[in-house]
Structure 1
């Protein structure tokens, strides 16, 4: 029947996300996506257009879930616990999988083949929303009394630091090291 998807869309999108996450945008082909999803290339093209459109679709779903989980982590009552939960969430996300999958956003941002305007806008939107979530948490009364920096400055520093964690994860693949380093930054940002 025309116009009706003949496949389990949520399962196919989840598998497509995993392929993009593991391989990166550029190295992923529509054939890779067809094999992973069990959906023929023609059906993928009919349903989503091209590879970029499919990527943007799954990335938007990823972003929504990621930001929801990030905000949950930041919802801890004590500021230092909130920031530890934030970093634990980020580190657990990038170290999941075998081999570890790294950070989807950073992997895409550094991929020369993903330099298209729409993909770059999606990545920038994600970075902005992470920074905004941090700024909101750091703007609460308890946080303001403990911060060494203004909320927006601290948020930018923390968000930027997570990109360095991604690099260090790729080099050392040691979550304990990443968490210890994040703990050191928290001590710099939050007054004892």
Structure 2
């Protein structure tokens, strides 16, 4: 058994992800990470490559876990952009309301700290936000598609609202209030699409 890891790497990664999610990058010290995972500094470095490398792996794990849910919600209603955006926000609000996970969003938390992150991690956070925006942008295509420029703007708007919901939830905003924000965002998307010449011609 000598030289073999005596712990589950995925479990340790989940525990570390929770620390970054709750505390943010700055306050997630190696001591705190070690306490949460049960690993000493040597094991943290040996397994994950240090705090910055561990942080990046946690970002990827978070993005993979929730990104899959977003993707499924958005693609289930292909060709119906308004319903797709509603489904997207349903997933977002379900994550926020889940008592088993920290408040907010790891990516939103990390975006707020981007100026103090090392270059690679700061850029990676931006990449994850861009990935989310591309998913939403794709949902705005199809028979009811908006013009290219407008679809780009709407995708950015939806992602911005998503990040705002995460920040508001960490500040204690109620579920009712958060759902009102999401509902108004969906209504804005619907009204904006309805106002385009393509949709007006079909009315």
Counterpart in the other structure of 2:19: 19
Unaligned runs of 5+ in 1: none
- Provide the aligned C-alpha RMSD in A: 2.4
| Distance change in 2, residues 1:69/1:114 (3 Å) | farther
| Distance change in 2, residues 1:71/1:32 (3 Å) | same
Alignment of 1:76-115 (within 5 A): 76-77=76-77, 78-97=80-99, 100-111=102-113, 114-115=116-117
1:159 shift after superposition: 0.8
Aligned residues of 1:138 and 1:151 also touching (Cα < 8 A): yes
Counterpart in the other structure of 1:60: 60
Counterpart in the other structure of 2:161: 161
Counterpart in the other structure of 1:177: 177
| Distance change in 2, residues 1:140/1:99 (3 Å) | closer
Q: How far, CA to CA, are the matches of 2:50 and 2:97 in structure 1?
A: 29
Aligned residues of 1:109 and 1:115 also touching (Cα < 8 A): no
1:157 shift after superposition: 1.1
1:140-185 deviation digits (Å, cap 9, x = unpaired): 22x317x8x7322211111112222223223342122111221112
Aligned residues of 1:103 and 1:166 also touching (Cα < 8 A): yes
Q: How far, CA to CA, are the matches of 1:103 and 1:115 in structure 2?
A: 17
Structure 2 length-normalised TM: 0.83
Q: How far, CA to CA, are the matches of 2:118 and 2:99 in structure 1?
A: 28
| Distance change in 2, residues 1:41/1:97 (3 Å) | farther
Unaligned runs of 5+ in 2: 195-203
1:89 shift after superposition: 1.4
